[in-house]
Structures are given as structure tokens and as C-alpha cells.
Amino acid sequence: MQIETTSHGGTAADVRLPVYYLPHGGGPCFFMEDQRGPPDMWKSMAAFLESVIPSLPRRPKALLIISGHWDEPQVTVNAGEKPALLYDYYGFPEHTYRLRWDAPGAPDVAARVKALLDAAGFPTAMETQRGWDHGVFIPMKVALPDADIPTVQLSLRSDYDAAAHIALGKALAPLRDEGVLILGSGMSFHNLRAPRDGSATPLSQRFDNWLTRAVTDPDPAQRNQLLAHWENGDHARFAHPREDHLLPLMVAAGAAGEDPGVRVYNGVVIGWAVSGYRFG
């Protein structure tokens, strides 16, 4: 049963929103007839994405999305009122470059994000011109097809310092009590050169097993320590030659605070084991 809360009552536990690390698929994968693999290969991932908003204890007033497709030397907040879409994928059917997801921006939430990061000592910039990349609009077109929740995108930091991204998430944690749903958007396995014929599945599964043990460690301090040193994981650099798609998980884990992590999605797509996680 979902819990409805209002400003007139309810405890912090009632109103605090969880944090997610979502798999966002490959390019516009959910919107193509030719899945470039077995029929319905992405079906279970799409079903998971569709379940996210209905599973929440209350409807968010805004979304804050950290995508693996945007990094800047300084952490940067998109404060646009009506961001365009950035079709940053290549070689897909023509119709996928006409997809729309027209959620409004949330400049007030963007300002709050910047204030929290400034207070935590993170040099932070704001911008209004960059469109939402496909790490935002592709999974959210599945999860929120009506595009009716204001949305803010936050960049990663280009140094890819895992511990710094966990700290960044900790600074953002108060948003959870303010009605903002924090979503890390990436892929728990992201090696585009890995074989897609099934031969990489065992190695990807070994990293997936390690990552799940780390995320679900009952001690939040130990969890964050493991994630800060993710390169020590089983076949970590095979899973992530470049960690851009993993770092949104670090932000999510930092924002989780003391809340435990749970694996809420697991599947194999194009021969790679992929998971999604929820905290709180």
C-alpha cells in the first residue's frame, strides 16, 4: 500500500523519498522495432523503469537526474526552464531523432541544488543552454511518459573521483525530504567493446555480483568505502573501461545516507549482466 503524506502530518520516514540508480539502456533501445538482439531483449528493463514512479511513497515535486553522459570540470546544474533534447546517440533509425520528452525544468530546484553543493564546498556552475541527454530522456520517457514532473539534470565531475561523487551525493541528501527524487542514470556494465555473443556474460556477472554485494552491504560506511574503491571489484575495469556510467551510482549511494541498498533490477542485455538499485 502506498503512503500518502501532506504538509500537515507524517513523519520524516513517511515523506522521505528513496534514491535510485537506474539502467538507462543502450541509445534509444526502448523505442525501436529492431532491438539488435533477441526479441523483447529490453522488455524487462522497460518494465522496471515503468514501475519506479508508481512504487514511490508519494509523487515527487521534482526529479534530479545525474546521467553518465554529462561531465564537466566543475559540477554543473542545468537550470533551464524548458530544456531541449540532446540526441547524443549515433547510427539509429531516423524516427529516434524525433522522440520527445517535454518535461518542464525546475530553476528553483536547480538553485537549491547549487546552494547545497556550495555549502558543502563543491565549486559549482549553473547553465541553461545544454539539452537533456539520452541518459535523461530515454529512461524517463519510459518511466514518466506524460513528462509531467519538473526535472533538473546535474553533471558528473570530469575527474571521475568516486569518493568525491559519494560526498556530492551526501550534500544533496536533504532534497529527499523536500520532495525531490534523486536518480542516478547509467549502466552497471558499460564496455561497448565487450563481445555481445554471450561470451562476456560470465565476466560481467562476476562484476555484477561484486557490485551488488558492495551496494547491499549493511554498513553504509563500508558500502561507501567499497564503492569509492570500485576498481578493486572483480573484473571492474573490464566492466567499466571508463567509469562515467558507474559514477551516478556513487552519487546515489552518498545521497542514501544510512539507508540500505537493495537490488531492484537484474537482467542480461546484449550478453551483459546489468543491475539497478534502490536506497531507502
Residue 142 covered by a domain: yes
Q: 203 falls in which pLDDT band (50, 70, 90)?
A: very high
Question: Does residue 262 lie within any of the structural domains?
Answer: yes
Q: Which domain holds residue 205?
A: 12-279
Give the chain's mean pLDDT: 93
pTM of the entire predicted model: 0.94
What residues contact 280, with CB distance under 8 A and at least 6 apart? 16, 17, 18, 19, 176, 256, 259, 260
Give me the pLDDT at residue 5, please.
32
Mean pLDDT score, 51-80: 98
6 located within any domain: no
Question: In 3-state terms, what secondary structure has residue 123?
Answer: coil
Per the structure block, which three cell numbers stand in for 206?
A: 562476476
Q: What is the pLDDT of residues 169-189, one digit of tens each?
A: 999 999 999 999 999 999 999
pLDDT band at 15 (very low <50, low <70, confident <90, very high): confident
Asked whether residue 1 is assigned to any structural domain, the reply reads no
Phi then psi for residue 105, to 5 deg, are: -75, 180
Tell me, yes or no, whether 172 lies in a domain: yes
According to the model, what pLDDT value does residue 40 have? 77
- Measured distance between the N- and C-terminal CA atoms of the chain, rounded to whole angstroms: 16
Distance CA 265, CA 16 (A): 22
Say if CB 110 and CB 14 are below 8 A apart: no
* Residue 5 domain flag: no
User: Cα separation of 51 and 116, whole Å?
Assistant: 29
Lowest mean pLDDT among 130-134, 137-141, 196-200: 196-200
Is 1 or 98 the better-scoring residue by pLDDT? 98
State the pLDDT at residue 90: 95
Quick one: pLDDT band at residue 9, thresholds 50, 70, 90? very low
Domain CATH code at residue 119: 3.40.830.10
Look at residue 29 and tell me if it is in a domain.
yes
Tally of domains in the chain: 1
Note whether 183 and 20 are within 8 A (CB).
yes
Strand order in the sheet with 151-157: 124-127, 75-78, 151-157, 62-72, 180-186, 19-23, 272-279, 261-269
- Strand, helix or coil at 263? strand
> DSSP code of 185?
E
Residue 200 in any domain: the answer is yes
Torsion angle, CA of 239/244/247/252, rounded to 10 degrees? -110
